[in-house]
């Protein structure tokens, strides 16, 4: 039976997982044709089935002593090239299908980083929004009370993702250490004075902009003077904006789940610093940016309409940095009509498969998330290396390594696309290169 039919029949409700798998299956067809032994070894069937799925109850008590129950997940997808590695997401939309799609993407992304990391992902449908620090701490402790027995610095190394930042990593790490009586690099994204790496907070955003700069360089172009649309306003969007400004570009939009701001004068360094305080300390909403800066207009976005007006603004480059499927076919057509010729994805799978077809038809520079946003997990890999040596590298050294890794990912994707006669198709290149490396490692290690 066809692999997609098998997968959709097995877990009909896991739509995002089907979407991520179908994108990969489509683009690796020529690899299977070139390597007939891959079919005999059922590599597609094996790579799409998680090595292990852990689902658990997370009970916790709010400040009014009311008890709540959330669901916790860790999907250990593939360990062919290293320990499972990938973030934890705390968001009400989290379910097994979402975590499986993220874990699946992570396998290919981690393989592209050049570092020895397998793929995994976890999280919970817990919503940290509006919760007190004490509530978040109790939730994290309850979550780790189960997760700790499944992870370890040589087994599975979680990190942050949406809803899991420095605060949550701190509470999770503290509880792991208490339960295991071990100070180890079991999580990445730690604070700098207790085992974290410099440049880890910046890494995903910076890496995404470096990837964009590499794509532009193939057309003898740069970010200098380019107008950019950025979505999201969390960690990835913040450092994407910072690096675009450093490289001479202009950022005119930022968003959250309720709406977006359009600042015709552009987000300056000073405005960005204010925004970082708003989001990271006050945990406020993007609408407050427009109250503070009169050059900006706030537009609430109704999630039930079929397109997001954010993507209809005229600009040169787009950096989707919010969440999965934030760009559909209509949005992609609006981007093209608005003059966009580069999309570099800071979020995981922000463009649906119809939107990707629009980019490919228009032959724009399109860096898919699993390549363009790999800088975050790459610096997590560097954090693991520093933890093993019990050393801290200076910021310049980490950033230089990040830059080289992003260059290497770009070249790997471009070379793979050329090798298969699709030069400049980075989606095909990323999938082919990531897939080939992991599959060869799986075959080397026998039927496990």
What are the catalytic residues? 121
Query: d(Cα 19, Cα 354) in Å, to the nearest integer?
Result: 11
Which one, 241 or 380, has the nearer CB to ligand GLU?
380
Binding mask 270-309 for ligand GLU (x = CB under 6 A): ----------------------------------------
Smallest gap from Cβ 390 to ligand GLU, in A, equals 20
377 is an interface residue for ligand GLU by CB under 6 A: yes
Element (DSSP H or E) covering residue 369? helix 369-372
Which residue from 82, 83, 86, 367 is in contact with ligand GLU, where contact means CB under 6 A?
86
Short-list 181, 160, 163, 101, CA closest to 127: 163
Among 41-49, 252-260, 319-327, 373-381, which window interacts with ligand GLU (CB under 6 A)?
373-381
Which residue from 111, 188, 351, 436 is in contact with ligand GLU, where contact means CB under 6 A?
188
Which one, 117 or 267, has the nearer CB to ligand GLU?
117
85 is an interface residue for ligand GLU by CB under 6 A: yes
Give φ, ψ of 123 to 5 degrees: 150, -160
The strands making up 259-263's β-sheet, listed across from edge to edge, are 296-300, 259-263, 250-256, 227-230, 317-319, 342-344, 365-367
State both tokens at 365: 């520079």
Which residue from 25, 107, 159, 317 is in contact with ligand GLU, where contact means CB under 6 A?
159
Smallest gap from Cβ 239 to ligand GLU, in A, equals 13
Smallest gap from Cβ 134 to ligand GLU, in A, equals 25
161 is an interface residue for ligand GLU by CB under 6 A: yes
- Output the residue with the shortest Cβ distance to ligand GLU: 87
Angle at 134 between CA 128 and CA 136, to 5 degrees: 25
Q: How far is CA 1 from CA 8, 13, 42, 45, 338, in A?
A: 12, 19, 12, 11, 43
Which one, 21 or 159, has the nearer CB to ligand GLU?
159
- Is residue 338 classed exposed, middle or buried when 0-12, 13-18 and 19+ CB atoms within 10 A define those classes? middle
Which one, 85 or 131, has the nearer CB to ligand GLU?
85
State both tokens at 390: 């019990």
- Is residue 287 classed exposed, middle or buried when 0-12, 13-18 and 19+ CB atoms within 10 A define those classes? middle
Which one, 161 or 316, has the nearer CB to ligand GLU?
161
Smallest gap from Cβ 325 to ligand GLU, in A, equals 15
Under a CB-based contact definition with an 8 Å cutoff, are residues 228 and 208 in contact? Answer: no
Which residue from 376, 424, 429, 434 is in contact with ligand GLU, where contact means CB under 6 A?
376
Binding site for ligand GLU (CB under 6 A): 85-87, 159, 161, 188, 348, 376-377, 380
């Amino acid at each position: 039976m066809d692999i997609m039919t098998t997968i959709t029949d097995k877990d009909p409700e896991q739509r995002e997982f089907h979407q991520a798998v179908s994108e990969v299956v489509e683009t690796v067809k020529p690899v299977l044709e070139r390597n007939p032994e891959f079919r005999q070894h059922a590599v597609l069937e094996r790579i799409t089935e998680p090595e292990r799925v852990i689902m658990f109850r997370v009970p916790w008590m709010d400040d009014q002593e009311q008890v709540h129950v959330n669901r916790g997940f860790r999907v250990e997808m593939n360990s062919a090239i290293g320990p499972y590695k990938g973030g934890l997401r705390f968001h009400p939309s989290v379910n097994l299908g979402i975590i499986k799609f993220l874990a699946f993407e992570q396998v290919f992304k981690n393989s592209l980083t050049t570092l020895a990391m397998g793929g995994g992902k976890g999280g919970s449908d817990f919503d940290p929004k509006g919760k007190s620090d004490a509530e978040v701490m109790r939730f994290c402790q309850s979550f780790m009370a189960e997760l700790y027995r499944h992870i370890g610095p040589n087994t599975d190394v979680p990190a942050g993702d949406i809803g899991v930042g420095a605060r949550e990593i701190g509470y999770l790490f503290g509880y792991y250490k208490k339960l295991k009586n071990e100070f180890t690099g079991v999580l990445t994204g730690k604070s700098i004075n207790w085992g974290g790496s410099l440049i880890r907070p910046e890494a995903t955003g910076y890496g995404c902009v470096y990837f964009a700069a590499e794509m532009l360089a193939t057309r003898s172009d740069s970010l200098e003077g380019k107008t950019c649309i950025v979505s999201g306003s969390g960690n990835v969007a913040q450092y994407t904006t910072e690096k675009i400004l450093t490289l001479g570009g202009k950022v005119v939009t930022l968003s959250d789940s309720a709406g977006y701001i359009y600042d015709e004068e552009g987000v300056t360094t000073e405005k960005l610093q204010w925004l970082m305080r708003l989001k990271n300390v006050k945990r406020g909403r993007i609408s407050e940016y427009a109250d503070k800066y009169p050059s900006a207009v706030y537009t609430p976005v109704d999630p039930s309409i079929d397109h997001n007006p954010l993507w209809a603004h005229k600009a040169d480059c787009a950096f989707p940095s919010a969440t999965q499927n934030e760009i559909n076919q209509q949005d992609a057509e609006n981007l093209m009509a608005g003059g966009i010729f580069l999309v570099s994805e800071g979020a995981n799978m922000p463009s649906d498969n119809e939107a990707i077809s629009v980019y490919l038809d228009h032959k724009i520079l399109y860096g898919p998330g699993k390549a363009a946003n790999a800088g975050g997990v790459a610096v997590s890999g560097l954090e693991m290396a520093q933890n093993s040596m019990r050393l801290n590298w200076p910021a310049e050294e980490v950033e230089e390594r990040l830059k080289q890794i992003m260059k290497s990912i770009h070249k790997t994707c471009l070379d793979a696309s050329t090798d298969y006669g699709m030069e400049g198709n980075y989606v095909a290149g990323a999938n082919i290169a990531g897939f080939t490396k992991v599959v060869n490692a799986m075959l080397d290690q026998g039927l496990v």
